[in-house]
């Protein structure tokens, strides 16, 4: 069995949990507590020198990092159901939307970035929260506009894709940072539909063994 090193509230771990659950792949979970800096422990750095979760350890001991790269690996090895459309144009667009979250929104409200802003720029809770909320809202405005222009059941597809693996955790984070998510009605509709599905329920932070 593969092992997922993750943390219940980590949005990048949440993405991978959704992908695994959609594909019906069971894994062993190892909790890496980000609050006590376990991601910087010698043991964790030995499998991911970047000091991040998630990490997917394969049965043969090979180690995969970066949530989107892990999801693409899963899509290649467990093709059904597909997370990325076969059509090259749609595939590129779904990937671009997923990257809007994973490459543009999420990294600037990562735990280590927020800690840096707090320490180096003398920000308290309110300033840090405002920073995170601002960048989430900025990205969501773009994604809401794109979503509004599609008539599909989900974002651009009629089944959850790589994008929904990224969106639902990002909406979870948006709520944590006090973003007014009602400003994004189409994203909210997609979120509601996904949250009813067993795979998304199984992957939700509150349903993980290490939840606090
Ligand atoms: N680009 C990476 C980001 C991973 C990431 O940012 N993980 C966060 C949790 S969501 C983390 O481990 N943060 C620990 C830290 O900032 O020290 C991915 O998609 O896997």
Q: Which ranges of the chain would DSSP assign to H, the alpha helix?
A: 11-23, 42-47, 67-77, 88-99, 111-120, 125-148, 162-176, 185-195, 198-203
Q: What value does the mean pLDDT take over residues 18-30?
A: 98
| Confidence at 132, pLDDT banded by 50, 70, 90 | very high
Q: What value does the mean pLDDT take over residues 118-144?
A: 94
Cα-to-centroid distance, 4 and ligand 1 (Å): 14
Whole-angstrom distance, CA of residue 129 vs CA of residue 100: 20
CATH code: domain 2-81 is: 3.40.30.10
pLDDT digits over 108-128, tens only?
988 899 999 999 988 899 999
CB 100 within 8 A of CB 143: yes
Q: Which residues line ligand 1 (CB under 6 A)?
A: 10-12, 34, 39, 51-54, 66-68, 102, 110-112
Q: What are phi and psi of 26, to 5 degrees?
A: -85, 140
pLDDT digits over 75-108, tens only?
999 999 999 999 999 999 999 999 999 999 999 9
Q: Where are the domains of the chain?
A: 2-81, 88-199
Domain 88-199 grouped into CATH 1.10.3720.10: no
So what's the pLDDT on residue 94? 98
So what's the pLDDT on residue 121? 85
So what's the pLDDT on residue 138? 97
């Amino acid at each position: 069995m593969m092992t997922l090193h993750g943390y219940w509230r980590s949005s990048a771990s949440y993405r991978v949990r959704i992908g695994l659950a959609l594909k019906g792949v069971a894994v062993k979970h190892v909790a890496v507590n980000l609050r006590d800096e376990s991601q910087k422990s010698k043991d964790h750095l030995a499998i991911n020198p970047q000091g991040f979760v998630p990490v997917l350890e394969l049965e043969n001991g090979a180690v995969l990092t970066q949530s989107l790269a892990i999801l693409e690996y899963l899509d290649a090895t467990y093709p059904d159901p597909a997370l990325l459309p076969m059509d090259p144009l749609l595939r590129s667009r779904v990937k671009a939307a997923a990257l809007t979250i994973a490459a543009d929104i999420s990294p600037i409200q990562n735990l280590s970035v927020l800690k840096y802003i707090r320490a180096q720029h003398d920000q308290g809770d309110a300033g840090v929260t405002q920073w995170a909320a601002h960048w989430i809202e900025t990205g969501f405005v773009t994604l809401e506009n794109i979503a509004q222009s599609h008539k599909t059941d989900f974002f651009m597809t009629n089944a959850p894709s790589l994008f929904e693996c990224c969106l639902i955790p990002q909406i979870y984070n948006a709520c944590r940072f006090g973003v007014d998510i009602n400003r994004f009605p189409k994203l909210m509709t997609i979120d509601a539909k996904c949250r009813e599905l067993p795979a998304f329920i199984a992957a939700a932070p509150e349903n993980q063994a290490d939840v606090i």
